[in-house]
Structure 1
Amino acid sequence: MSPERVGVLIDTLAGDDDRLWPVDSWPPLRFDRPLGVGADGGHGPVRYFVESYEPGKSVRFRFTAPRGFDGFHEFTLRARETGEIELEHLMVLRLRHPAWFTYPLLWRPMHDALIEDGLDRAERELTGTVRTPARWSPYVRLLRNLISGNRFFRFRKNKVPPMSATAIR
């Protein structure tokens, strides 16, 4: 698979034709302008700005909310020695109060489920299928149900991925 084909997924983030962000079951990623350095926005209650962007290669988002998040997350294209192309997500955080408490209980499980859904979406976009679809844990399902009425989250129809490991979402 060509790096250009994978890099396009990064470039569509937050656009009308977003092919990476799992908009079918999570709050959409939106910015105040097209993806580029300085664009400000986020998804649900999570806010950040685009700190760096190399079209077709990487994008880094610097957190501004929730309170206590000091760090960034990014998507980067990596070429492996085998010739394979890897889409990597990295998050680096230094937690401060109150995030030292809320992150492990709320933010981390929700973040991990969202990113796994996004990587499944990327795999489906590039290959037409998902070899091993991610499944939300019972805890993530509980959290989604508890906060589904919160206006910041706005889950799309509160969709739940199928329990079958062979089903495609």
Structure 2
Amino acid sequence: MGVYNVHERVLPVAGAEVGLLIDGLSGDADPLWPGHDWYPMRFDGPLAAGAAGGHGPVRYTVAAYVPGQWVRFLFTGPRGFHGFHEYTVHPLGPDRTLLRHTLAMHARGPARLSWPLAFRPLHDAALEDSLDRAERACTGTVARPARWSRYVRMLRRLIG
């Protein structure tokens, strides 16, 4: 099963400012990943190509990293996840930037069920929370905060 999943937000700041959010991923004061509400993103070293880690049961290695612009992670788990996810910065002008998260993978074996039933709704909620964090970091507020569905809240209770 092919999966292509995109989340994005236009932020009213320069691309360099948005790029700093990517550069802070997995750090102690990570401004982008919602590690207080979700499993924190952690690696076996600093954010750099070859670093291994992930968040909770989702495991990956840093395949490529261009500071301030792009980071790509290759999945190593859970079983059946074959592909990548990435954050990219797309300047739209001097004071407008698109922050995009893309997940592209083939779900095989058990992932053909676990992705649509559990991982996708949790992924979508976590990514919208991540983009809320980006908006808050850049503007001090969030115009339309993401809300978790009942299904996401139930899944979160089940996984503890």
Counterpart in the other structure of 1:73:
85
- Picking from 126, 137, 142, the partner of 2:138 is 126
What amino acid is the match of 2:74? R
What does 1:76-91 align with in structure 2 at a 5 Å threshold?
76-80=88-92, 84-91=96-103
TM-score (norm. length: structure 2): 0.90
- The whole-number CA distance in structure 2 between the counterparts of 1:90 and 1:23 is 19
- Picking from 73, 97, 116, the partner of 2:109 is 97
- The whole-number CA distance in structure 1 between the counterparts of 2:41 and 2:89 is 20
User: How big is the shift at 1:83?
Assistant: 5.8
User: How big is the shift at 1:80?
Assistant: 2.4
- The whole-number CA distance in structure 2 between the counterparts of 1:50 and 1:23 is 18
> Equivalent pairs: percent with the same residue?
56
What does 1:105-116 align with in structure 2 at a 5 Å threshold?
105-116=117-128
- The whole-number CA distance in structure 2 between the counterparts of 1:110 and 1:117 is 11
User: How big is the shift at 1:82?
Assistant: 8.5
- The whole-number CA distance in structure 1 between the counterparts of 2:137 and 2:91 is 19
- Picking from 10, 33, 43, the partner of 2:22 is 10
TM-score (norm. length: structure 1): 0.85
SS in structure 2 of the partner of residue 80 of structure 1: strand
- Residue-pair matches, total: 148
Counterpart in the other structure of 2:46:
34
The structure showing larger relative contact order (alpha-carbon pairs under 8 Å, at least 6 residues apart) is 2
Answer whether contact 2:14 2:91 (CA < 8 A) is retained: no
SS in structure 2 of the partner of residue 23 of structure 1: coil
RMSD in angstroms over aligned alpha carbons?
Answer: 1.1
Counterpart in the other structure of 2:74:
62
Answer whether contact 2:14 2:93 (CA < 8 A) is retained: no
- Picking from 33, 36, 43, the partner of 2:55 is 43
> Which structure has greater strand proportion?
2
User: How big is the shift at 1:23?
Assistant: 1.4
- The whole-number CA distance in structure 1 between the counterparts of 2:110 and 2:158 is 20
